[in-house]
Amino acid sequence: MTAGGPATLKGKTILITGGTGSLGKVLTRWLLARPDDRPGKIRIFSRDEAKQHFMRLEYLHKTKATDEVIYHDFERLVEFRIGDVRDYHAVCSAMDGADIVVNAAALKQVPSCEYFPFEAVQTNVVGAENIVRAVRDGRVEVGTVVGVSTDKACKAVNVMGMTKALQERIFVGANLTVPATRFICVRYGNVLASRGSVIPLFHEQIRNGGPVTITTDGMTRFLLSLGTAVELIAAAIARARAGETYVPKIPAARIVDVANALIGRRTIEIVRTGIRPGEKIHEILVSEEEAARTVDLGDYYAIQPIQPELQAESVSGPRLEKEYSSADSLMTPDEIRTLLERHSLMPEQGAREEGEFLR
């Protein structure tokens, strides 16, 4: 089993599928902020031409669009490509010449996936298989593929989680059929202030004077910043062995406590709406079945692949003794407020989406 990844990203070509999303934008910013270890090419692949247009404008430090903005796109450090991860031929083209692929393309809204399950399959499952096929059948040479997954893939009860769990298995299993490429995964919880997450919803409800809606008082969630998510991807690229899934050690909180921290001293009502279809009370990042093959690496856990052929005998370290749940260790209200303030997410701080490009 391949041990670890490239010691440096300098001169590498990095493809980010779904690269115009919150994670893709912050990952791009992180890569650009490494002058001594900067990639030779950052390729943004997504199907949304509008998001690409505005991301390109920010990268070029332009406030207005002109005809020449898109000219010479393929010659720039940050290159934009229109295409869909569902389209095998578009995926092959985008991957051509890439050293590292980060698959951030996803349908991730739980209710949307419940109502349109096959659409989630097309993006989250078929998209992952298209990346594997491009290497296996299309003979595209890639050193590392990183699958971005979610806590909802663990003991999945909703379509989004089920499709992400399948994505993990597709990528991990690909190490057996395409051994020249290292396929690894990262799995983490709710990202603070990412597009479609609960904090922007709370901000909007507070601005409108309420009410703030929560599902139930007992619901807990893991919380991490986009910066921490990017650090996890970087750690996995640098250290993960083929087939491993990296999981961060991150705080968790009751969602009602997050709502109360954001409301502060305002007179705003909290309304309980009930659990939505496919939701859990608590999320899990490592299941009890996975715990025995999960190694503690300090800041991260590494889940060893389920296939015996991919498990490395040389991997040492303490193993988990039970599942890793968002109910295990909850932040206090003061700790939640401190976390939100640190990431400029309190309403009085003029909170914004953390994925703002190059800011």
Active site residue 280: no
DSSP 323-337: -EETTSSBPPHHHHH
What are the angstrom distances between the C-alpha of 85 and each of 6, 89, 136, 278, 283?
A: 25, 9, 16, 25, 27
* Residue found by looking up tokens 């393929």 in the block: 74
DSSP 150-188: EGGGTT--SHHHHHHHHHHHHHHHHHHH-TTSEEEEEEE
List 51, 152, 164, 280, catalytic entry? 152
Pairing state of beta strands 245-248 and 182-188?
parallel
Classify residue 68 by its DSSP letter. Answer: G
> What residues contact residue 275 under an 8 Å CB cut-off, 6+ apart?
215, 216, 219, 281
Catalogue the active-site residues: 152
